[in-house]
Structure 1
Amino acid sequence: MTSTPRGPDARPLKVRVKNARSRTSSSQKWLQRQLNDPYVAKARREGWRSRAAFKLIEMDEKIHVLRKGMRIVDLGAAPGGWSQVAAKKTGAADGHGKIVAIDLLEMDSVQGVMFAQMDFLEPSAPEKLFAMLDGKADLVMSDMAANTTGHKKTDHLKIVGLVELAADFARQVLAPNGTFIAKVFQGGTEGTLLADLKRDYTNVRHLKPSASRADSAELYLVATGFRGQADRPAGEDEA
């Protein structure tokens, strides 16, 4: 029931999943997609925790957001693919820089990464983070996605709401000129959210890595050049 992918760009023989009474049709579709995903196979071969690692790798190759010695926060980090990439790219695995991974779920340890099992929305979260990082962060990154209900408008609101919460957390913990990266979906950063990001950062853009599935509406928002709380354009106070 297996085939051997030859890399993300290869086209291996398709794996078919046999019907099982214990599986719902949606879980069957998910399993078949996983078995036929070349990035899933490549992640296993190369030792990455998830296929999502390749999304961050590709974004960094395009815009060079990961630098040696950085202080980084990884929100919703489990299972740890992005933390692995960050540790390798910044040298944290060798003692350079600091990375804190935050999640409500448990996560196996990653060399060079400190893990905090907590809710980043807790009032005490920023202070705990400063203590772990010995200061403010240079990068806050989030690959979180809200649980979907199947109702398009409701899901859209949940997605935007989660990104807004992550963006607000980033405002509290980022050092001036810091960077914020978050998963969004097409149509998910209009209105107030996008206006706030453009106010708070010198550059805001969207990227879609090739590791993102073609049929997915996901994009990644990259906001660079955090102005800092005291360095906003005149007349644009916090709402």
Structure 2
Amino acid sequence: MGKTSKDKRDIFYRLAKEQGWRARSAFKLLQADETFHLLDGLHRAVDLCAAPGSWSQVLAKHMYEPLSEEDKKKVKIIAVDMQGMAPIEGVTQMREDISKESTAEAIINFFEGEKAQIVVCDGAPDSTGMHDFDSYVQIELVITAISIATYILEEGGSFVSKIYRCDKTSKAYTQMKRFFKDVCVFKPSASRNSSIEAFVIGRQFCLPEGHKLCNLTLEWQNDPSTWIEEFTGYPPAVTVPFVGYKGEWDSDRTYGMTIMCTMRLCRNH
């Protein structure tokens, strides 16, 4: 008999299957939106490292599906990934590398000269099991996502990206403090407590005066310490604000089918 995986016992895995989400990660963006109201009234969005598409589904569900046929024409959602994925109504796919400036230019062209109102990224490297290495690669991916966001986000826009909680979290935080007035790390209940995964959220995007768009990873390596204090006013080690989501479901618990059905019935009545 095959071993039952933890995913199949997980409440969010079951709900994703039941509700038609491509992955349980959809609930992480849904809970971020519920907490911070990130998707209210938006018409232009970018999903980086989008495959298999659960976050693109959330964007379409909130920004595209509720609208009339006429208003749907104003909505532009683009999913960027080097890997293809099944189509989603209301979402345009672009198979490009997010580390290239040409990708940023192609996104702006897609928006017909305008810029995105929100950029989201649920990308993560393939896990090797070596915590320090995986954390390093993940932070570099986050910095790359921030870098392209500085090209394609309009003033006042928002940014959401997966991040691993580790000693390098402050690196992403200090980078984001340069460009966003409000920055915090968010832990949805759909993300297991046992996981080092969290999400960094930046709101109210604004380019610093005189800032020249560049690859932030390279810029960081050129001057890692004095550069941080000059632009942020913070020393390299900082206290990162942390926000947790409190909901009725707990991804670390195992729920029986009877309990799930009973809770749904109570909620519906």
* TM-score computed with the length of structure 2 as normaliser: 0.72
Q: Which residue of 2 aligns with 1:54?
A: 27
Whether the 8 Å contact between 1:184 and 1:220 is mirrored in structure 2 is yes
Change (3 A) 1:186 1:69: closer
1:131-161 deviations in whole A, cap 9, x for unaligned?
1122111111000112222222222211111
Aligned counterpart in structure 2 of residue 207 of structure 1, from 171, 186, 191: 186
Residue 80 (str. 1) matches residue 75 (str. 2): no
CA contact (8 A) 1:93 1:113 kept: no
Structure 2, unmatched stretches of 5+, are 212-229, 233-269
- 1:127 partnered with 2:105: yes
Report SS of the residue matched to 2:156: strand
Counterpart residue number, 1:236 = 231
Larger relative CO (CA 8 A, sep 6+): 1 or 2? 2
Q: Contact between 1:159 and 1:188, CA under 8 Å: does it hold in 2? A: no
The C-alpha deviation readout for 1:38-67, integer Å capped at 9, x for no partner, is 211111111111111111111111110002
Rounded Cα–Cα distance in structure 2 between residues aligned with 1:116 and 1:42: 29
Whether the 8 Å CA contact 1:182–1:221 is kept in 2: the answer is yes
Q: 1:44 to 1:189 in 2, by over 3 A?
A: same
In the TM superposition, 1:18-37 aligns within 5 A as 18-19=1-2, 32-37=5-10
* Matched letter for residue 143 of structure 2: E
Q: Does 1:221 pair with 2:194?
A: no
Amino acid at match of 1:160: I
- Give the deviation of 1:191 after TM superposition: 4.1
Contact 2:12 2:190 in 1 (8 A): yes
Match of 2:147 among 144, 168, 180: 168
User: Which amino acid counterpart does residue 156 of structure 2 have in structure 1?
Assistant: N
Note the C-alpha offset of 1:207: 0.8
| TM-score (normalizing by structure 1) | 0.80
Distance 1:220 1:155 in 2: 16
Q: Does structure 2 retain, via aligned residues, the 8 Å contact 1:102–1:115?
A: yes
Range with greater deviation from structure 2 (152-161 or 171-180): 152-161
Residue in 1 that maps onto 2:253 = none
Amino acid at match of 2:43: M
Q: Which structure shows the bigger proportion of residues in helix conformation?
A: 2
- Code of the residue aligned with 2:99 in structure 1: it is L
Residues 92 and 98, structure 1, Cα contact 8 Å, conserved in 2: no
Separation of aligned partners in 2, 1:93 and 1:109? 19
Aligned to 2:63: 90
2:180–2:205 CA contact under 8 A, matched in 1:
yes
Percent of residue pairs identical: 32
How many pairs are equivalent?
208
Deviation at 1:91, TM superposition (A): 2.6
AA at the equivalent of 1:217: I
Secondary structure of 1:65's partner? coil
2:37 to 39, 51, 64: 64
When residues 170 and 188 of structure 1 are mapped into structure 2, their CA distance, relative to the original with a 3 A threshold, is farther
- Segments of 4+ in structure 1 off by > 6 A? none
Structure 1, unaligned runs of 5 or more: 1-17, 20-27
Q: 1:75–1:92: structure 2 CA closer, same or farther, 3 Å change rule? A: farther
